[in-house]
Structure 1
Amino acid sequence: MTTTVPATDFNRNPSHVKRLAAKGPVVVTEHNRPTLVVLSFDEYQRLTASPAGLGTWLQMDDDVDFDVETGGLGIEPADFT
């Protein structure tokens, strides 16, 4: 659940915004435009955590096979020969 508060409320009562951020992200606005987001440290860590360590990335196969759909636009594959 995202909550939005004006910057004046954020400046006037930061403890209230901290309590709200413990429950979910809080968007702080100035002149009705989002300027920053306050969130719990646990949520910050979850958002910035790397899904895999460097060792995992280095062990991945170099070749990845996949087909690309052209969407019927009549685009032909490039010839690199």
Structure 2
Amino acid sequence: MTITTISSREFNQDTSGAKKASQQGPVYITDRGRPAHVLLCMEEYQRLTGQNTSIVDLLVMPDTPPVEFEPERAIIAPRPVDL
């Protein structure tokens, strides 16, 4: 894993180069010489956060009990027309 450090200005001038470098390891982006941001490839981000599941898998929630839901009937009253 290679750690790359670039300035904000370099990042703005060569974004595609920073994205390519993020495939080899994290890219530190500095502001006035101090680290301000980190660019990671998506696979590395998901590995670090443990988010390897898709949104569909999260929405299915197979282990939850069924929810009873009886919404109130909406009453829509007409109002007079003002032309």
TM more than 0.5: yes
- 1:43 lines up with 2:44 in the alignment: yes
TM-score by length of 1: 0.59
Which blocks of at least 5 consecutive residues in structure 1 are unaligned? 51-81
TM-score by length of 2: 0.58
Separation in structure 1 between the aligned mates of residue 36 and residue 11 of structure 2, nearest angstrom? 12
Tell me the CA shift for residue 2 of structure 1.
0.8
- 1:9 lines up with 2:17 in the alignment: no
The answer for the alignment partner of 1:34 in structure 2 is 35
Which residue type is aligned with residue 11 of structure 1?
Answer: N
Tell me the CA shift for residue 32 of structure 1.
0.3
RMSD across aligned C-alpha pairs, in angstroms? 1.0
Tell me the CA shift for residue 34 of structure 1.
0.5
Count of aligned positions: 50
Tell me the CA shift for residue 43 of structure 1.
0.1
Tell me the CA shift for residue 7 of structure 1.
0.5
Runs of 4+ in 1 over 6 A off after TM superposition: none
The answer for the alignment partner of 1:72 in structure 2 is none
